[in-house]
Amino acid sequence: MSFIGGVSSSWAPAISPATGIQIGDGVILHTGVSVEGGYDSNVFYNDDTKVGATLVRVTPFIDINNATRTGEVPSGIAYDLNATLTYREYFSDQEDVTRLRAFVPTVRGSLGHTNGGTLTESVTEAYTRAEDAPYYRGTSQQLIIRDNNVASAQLGWAPGGGRLQSVLRYTNTLDIFETDSLKSANSLGHEALLDVSWRWLPKTALYLQLRQGYISYLNADTQAELGDKSSSYPLRAVLGVRGLITEKTSVAVGFGYQNAFYSNGATTSGFLGSTTVAAELVVLPLMFTRVVLGGRHDFQNSVIGNFFYDDGVYASLSQQTVAKLVGQVWVSYDHRRFYGLHDAPDPRVDNLVQAGAIFDYYLKNWAYAGLSYTLALNRSDYKPMDMTLSGATYTKQQIFARVGITY
């Protein structure tokens, strides 16, 4: 389902710093709306009982910041507040499809301070509400509703011209399911991060990053289909390099140690289980062309079971032409092994492919029209007895045409 991997929600357009309404001294308001009409090939994430439907999404947004007309962040206090408010409506003669209409808001805010000296401070807040189809078809089944809030506070230190830099950050994550059968997965997460880097070339740095977390479950003893949930103390220690190799090529490579430290049940183990690796290459072959290639081996805390190992690769290509045509295509593959499940193979193995393409033509710098396509394909070795269960094996495609304004 949506927390295992699925098709993303509507894509927000880029905001041009040259537009916007000045509503105060140094304060700029950006706003707009997009209207999308399209088709979802597999509403319930289930190839055995596949149901398609047309749908409409309306997405107004608002952004208030004190950046300059050139997009430059001012010295001193800098802030950015924005909200994307998507409403989704399905059209079908089946009630269990039409009831999937949803309001899906995302609200973000950031506040930072810098005076050109050695210290910078910032705080961020982001809230997202997601609604998705239930595991089983039927109007009696509750929708999967998930509220996620992430807040962080960060202190940066760069003495002596910035050759040596360090970042200290605390992140708090509150993950809440409103769906009764999933409330045992409601969790509170804390993470402390220390990142120390040394710039050995003008735009290339070696770094050491330490991350220590604590994840606890608010309803750990609730009996639900997910089974008992166990707290964990995820730790990662990574050495790496990041920055420019050439004027048009940059890399980010990290290698290190990881451990989940679950209090009960399955936990990370073995050489590969204790190793984390990530690498990304960014190439700018032309002035308005960007190519990204990357891969990773990691583990993630999981709603189903305790955790999953994730071996993934991804690639994207984005292009902006002088004719105001903006396009992006991307693809990713993840091989995931879930551990600590109580009613499925342990491990459960999923292979997830996600891909998409977006093309927008800007009639003006404030008006655009476009097309988008997204694919989510999951293949799992979990074979449920009840074939109406969704979220294991599915091929889901969405295609949209849209028009919008942004100012």
- For 64-79, how does the pLDDT look when each residue is reduced to its tens digit (9 = 90+)? 998 865 556 667 899 9
Q: How far apart are the C-alpha atoms of 198 and 206, rounded to whole Å?
A: 5
User: Residue 42 is encoded by which pair of tokens?
Assistant: 């597999």
DSSP 8-state assignment for residue 183: G
For β-strands 394-406 and 27-40, DSSP reports them as antiparallel
pLDDT for position 9: 47
User: Residue 302 is encoded by which pair of tokens?
Assistant: 């999981």
Residue with tokens 């200290």, as numbered in its chain: 168
Amino acid at 113: H
pLDDT digits (tens, 9 = 90+) for 364-406: 888 999 999 999 999 999 887 776 778 889 999 999 999 999 9
Number of H helices, E strands in the chain: 2, 19
Amino acid at 144: I
More reliable by pLDDT, 9 or 91: 91
What is the separation of C-alpha 188 from the centre of its chain, rounded to a whole number of angstroms?
18
Mean pLDDT of 132-153: 92
Architecture of the domain spanning 21-406: Beta Barrel (2.40)
Give the start-to-end residue ranges of the domains of the chain. 21-406
Q: How far apart are the C-alpha atoms of 123 and 151, rounded to whole Å?
A: 7
Q: How far apart are the C-alpha atoms of 138 and 97, rounded to whole Å?
A: 9
Q: How far apart are the C-alpha atoms of 127 and 380, rounded to whole Å?
A: 30
User: Residue 407 is encoded by which pair of tokens?
Assistant: 């100012």
pTM above 0.75, yes or no: yes
pLDDT for position 136: 84
pLDDT digits (tens, 9 = 90+) for 272-302: 999 999 999 999 998 889 999 999 999 999 9
Least confident among 159-163, 192-196, 307-311:
159-163
Query: Exposed/middle/buried for 287, CB within 10 Å: 0-12, 13-18, 19+?
Result: exposed
pLDDT at 179 over 60: yes
More reliable by pLDDT, 115 or 189: 189
φ/ψ (deg, to 5) at 202: -50, -35
pLDDT for position 322: 62
More reliable by pLDDT, 265 or 221: 265
Please give the mean pLDDT across all residues of the chain: 90
pLDDT for position 2: 37
Exposure letters 73-104 (e unless 16+ CB within 10 A, then b): eeeeebbbebbbebebebebeeebbeebebeb
pLDDT at 344 over 90: no
pLDDT for position 3: 39
**Residue 192: CB atoms within 10 Å:** 13
Mean pLDDT of 218-223: 71
